[in-house]
A and B are shown apart, each in its own frame.
Chain A
Amino acid sequence: MAFEYLFDAILTVSQPLNIMILFLSTAAGLLMGMLPGLSATMAIALLTGLTYNFPTQSALISLLGVYVGAISGGCQSAILLNIPGTPASAATALDGFPMARRGEGGLAIFLATTSSFLGTFLSVIFVLTLTPVLTQFALKFASWEFFLLSIFGIMICGSITARGNALKGWISGILGLMVAQIGMDIVDTFPRYSYGNVNLMSSIQLIPVMIGLFGFPEIVKSFVKKEENRTVGLTRFEPKKGFRLIGKNIVAIIRSAAIGVGVGIIPGVGEDTGGWLSYWASKQNSKDKESFGKGNPLGIISAESGNNSCIGGAIIPVLSLAVPGSAPAAVLLAAFLMHGYRPGPLLMTESPSFVYNVCIYLAFASFAMWAIALLISHGTVRLLALKKKILMPIIYTLCVIGAYLIHYNMFDVKVMFVFGMVGILITKLDIPAAPFLLGVILGPMADSNLRRGLRLSNGSMLPMLQRPICIFFLLVILFMIFQQTGLIDLIKRKGKKDGDK
């Protein structure tokens, strides 16, 4: 039965019209992902309106194509300009931009695109084979687990600083957490730091913060520092070297994909976080931790396969519970409903072919993405050869438009400008911007879940120690604290000395 459905789906997607739709929408997704401010969520929402009157299967193909494209597209601007196109690819910039500056931009994009492709493809296999098991896993996550997961994410702040200065990472992360406090809180609907301003009440949006923090310093830098203005030479793609690197790091890719799927499944945590966690996991397992943040190809590979595999992960609870695993998946769910499908517990009895259709379309979309992204990147790497003084004003205009388009609200443009100033300031102080963003992403989750958990347990912290997933997270968090404060190094050194004696 299953093979019949798969075969039907392949036949549907290979109709000439559908192939065309697939390529067009994937390309559109890639472009939107590249432009700062136009996120995957927005790309799917836009397309949902446009495809309302399409034949159902074609509409599904285009929606999934745009999803895969948008999540993957962000890496190109992250690598070439150090301005992530979407929050999902912020982790890619850490190593991608240094690589591009070394003159390996082409290789970096090749690696990012290929691992995006592999990430998506692997996650499709997860959807096809493990949906029932993984749905149960998603339901294991309650308030305490969410709280500890977000604390774990926030702890990463200390280890994503280029020069290994954990303190500066924490400063930045805590600043981000403070920004996340602004607005109506989720638990008691109490307005915090809003001063009666409605825009502040609806909290600070992530995307203007991201554009400001990452975009502005780059724009300003290109006009100020004379010595930085030399253009980097055009870069070759070196697909041979790329494939060799991918092959060498296949374990890291599978690990990142598994992490990404896991993060994707958990409702409310998605692509924005997935890249960071898989990046951290790869850094932990690497013998050469120092080279991360300075242009280590493994950093790009794990971040991109991690965020793309969230796609499959986020779709799993959509299909099995009608609960979206991430923000773009929420819009996708709406689009499914609009086209007459009812994802959820009845899906397998009502329209059993649907799951297979989605999987095949996703797999084809990932192929299309890979082909188009590599094609486009031949043009985009030339951006590096452009004079920064010509390129950056264009980027700036795109930033403003991107921030405005989120909610069609000038307030977001102002927010972007304010955080642009913050970004310039913290860059001057050599404080990394990435932890700031992570703080803004995870702050509301940590805050509301801790308070919800405490309310459920009548103020007792004990449940944290009684749940297996919680204990796992607690151990990891403890390990990270010791590692980042240098205690582990201290113990190791002492052990060595004792051994020498």
Chain B
Amino acid sequence: MKKILTLCLAMLVLGSFCFATAEAEEYPSKNINLTVPYGAGGTTDLTARSITNTMGKELGVTINVVNTPGAGGSAGTLNVLNSPVDGYTMLANGMLCISTMPVNGFTDKTYKDWDVWIATYAPNVVVVPKDSPFNTIKDLINAIRKNPGQITAGTAGIGSGGHFGAEVIKAVAGADYKHITYAGGGPAFTATLAGEVQFCPQLLAEYKDAIISGDVKALCTLSTEDIELAPGVVVPSILNSYPEAAPLLPMGEVTAILIPKGLEEEKLQKLDKAFEVATKDPAFIEFCDQKSFTVMPMGREESQKFLDDFASRACYILWDAGAAKVDPAQFGITRR
């Protein structure tokens, strides 16, 4: 046994030598790792890959996308927070996750502790199976009012874009729905197609084509304006039927590139420039158009201002729903 142990130890020591790395000087002098805290192929992942391709070219290095799914996006995000702030570890994440992490008890760092570059906005759309008895958002809301806690909503989990969408519906109806959570937007959508859940309030991009082809019915969007997906296929805004929802809108996922605060201003400016070029890249704009994302590029300062409002709404929706563990006021996030 002793022999085995010594052997194992020796192997461990040997193994650790493989990771000795040298420090570099000029920024960026080596490839940058960009963490996407979700699986490959999701909304955040696709947006990140599309934007970093051009950013990398602009910076003269490759930006490697690293997918670290787990804990609803918190695991990868915390990993980035805990890595050295040297400009070689970046994060791409949705702002819903970032702004609600403190109230969910994962960290005491808020969005104010990050340098944020917001890239896109993707609205929620409420869809139902094609053979569903609900044909308008009014049908659905009335059904929820009549059977509180019985109408099932499939989402990608607590704190996901879909959960916020469902909470808006709940606020409008004034009655609760039954929350059925899935491992991601894909499985939640499949469950809607199969009719396992009665409605799905995830992001438009996840099922745009299925709406156009008629495989699911879209009842409304949580954007403030109607959205035309294809000639003749228009998803009405929830405001058309329920103007009182206005203070909760627009609801949806906002995707951004982030770096924990603390990087030198000189390096940040390089990233500013690369980001600006990347958001104007025709390939990126075409990608966003195809997925029905709104390109909404914001610099670092502008992003913080946007988040002051957005984070407050997101945190208080969770808090009012009883789903948050910590009072947002503790982090200086006030009700707006």
Contact = CB atoms under 8 A, between A and B. Distances in A.
A426 B76 CA distance: 32
B87 interface: no
A413 B15 CA distance: 9
A323 B213 contact: no
Interface residues of B, number: 61
Given A220-B8, A344-B210, A187 B181 contact: yes
Contacts of A224: 3-4
A203 B75 CA distance: 9
Interface of A is mostly: helix
Interface stretch (A62-70, A140-148, A239-247, A294-302): A140-148
A49 B34 CA distance: 13
B187 A268 contact: yes
A210 B147 CA distance: 48
B18 A400 contact: yes
A71 to B, nearest CB: 17
A168 interface: no
B75 to A, nearest CB: 3
B77 to A, nearest CB: 9
A421 B215 contact: no
A225 B75 CA distance: 42
Contact of B65 (A49, A188, A189): A49
A334 B41 contact: yes
Given A188-B158, A321-B190, A323-B189, A203 B39 contact: no
A413 B8 CA distance: 13
B312 interface: no
A333 B41 contact: yes
Interface in B175-218: 178, 180-183, 186-187, 189-191, 193-194, 196-197, 209-210, 212-213, 215
A188 B323 CA distance: 10
A455 B68 contact: no
Interface string A199-217: 1011100000000000010
Contact of B46 (A337, A452, A456): A337
Given A189-B159, A267-B186, A408-B33, A344 B41 contact: no
Contacts of B158: 188-189
Nearest to B11: A396
Given A189-B72, A189-B159, A202-B68, A324 B186 contact: yes
A41 B41 CA distance: 11
Interface of B is mostly: helix
Contacts of A201: 70-71, 74-75
Contacts of A223: 3, 7
A422 interface: no
A407 B66 CA distance: 7
A190 to B, nearest CB: 9
B14 interface: yes
A393 B13 CA distance: 12
B113 to A, nearest CB: 16
Nearest to A318: B41
A268 B182 CA distance: 11
A193 to B, nearest CB: 13
Contacts of A49: 49, 62, 64-65
Nearest to B212: A346
A372 interface: no
Given A45-B67, A142-B191, A345 B159 contact: no
B72 to A, nearest CB: 5
B40 interface: yes
B250 interface: no
Nearest to B158: A189
A280 to B, nearest CB: 25
A113 B14 CA distance: 34
Interface in B34-63: 39-41, 45-46, 49-50, 53, 62
A45 B191 CA distance: 26
A143 B11 contact: no
A264 to B, nearest CB: 15
A88 B232 CA distance: 46
A346 B213 contact: yes
A330 B39 contact: yes
A387 B325 CA distance: 58
B330 to A, nearest CB: 18
B181 A397 contact: no
Nearest to A406: B68
A388 interface: no
Given A334-B40, A456-B180, A143 B15 contact: no
A456 B196 contact: yes
Nearest to A201: B71
B196 A323 contact: no
Nearest to A320: B215
Interface in A265-320: 267-268
Nearest to A344: B209
Contacts of B65: 45, 49
A219 B11 contact: yes
B303 interface: no
Contact of B190 (A48, A139, A420, A448): A139
A383 interface: no
Interface in A330-347: 330-331, 333-334, 337-338, 340, 342, 344-346
B290 interface: yes
A198 B194 contact: no
A142 B196 contact: yes
Nearest to A416: B15
Contact of A342 (B8, B78, B290): B290
Contact of B19 (A41, A337, A344, A410): A410
B272 to A, nearest CB: 23
A42 to B, nearest CB: 9
Interface in A219-236: 219-220, 223-224
A32 interface: no
B181 A188 contact: yes
A220 B6 CA distance: 11
A189 B68 contact: no
B46 to A, nearest CB: 6
Contacts of A424: 4
Interface of A: 41, 45, 48-49, 52, 138-143, 183-184, 186-189, 191, 198-199, 201-203, 216, 219-220, 223-224, 267-268, 321-324, 327, 330-331, 333-334, 337-338, 340, 342, 344-346, 393, 396-397, 400-401, 404, 407-410, 413, 417, 420-421, 424, 444, 448, 452, 455-456
23 contacts: A45-B67, A49-B64, A49-B65, A52-B53, A142-B191, A142-B196, A143-B191, A184-B75, A189-B72, A199-B79, A201-B70, A202-B70, A267-B186, A321-B210, A334-B40, A334-B46, A345-B212, A346-B212, A396-B15, A400-B18, A407-B67, A456-B178, A456-B196
Given A401-B18, A452-B180, A455-B178, 20 more contacts: A45-B67, A49-B64, A184-B71, A184-B75, A186-B183, A188-B181, A189-B71, A191-B71, A198-B79, A198-B82, A202-B75, A216-B8, A224-B4, A268-B183, A331-B41, A342-B290, A344-B213, A345-B213, A346-B209, A396-B14
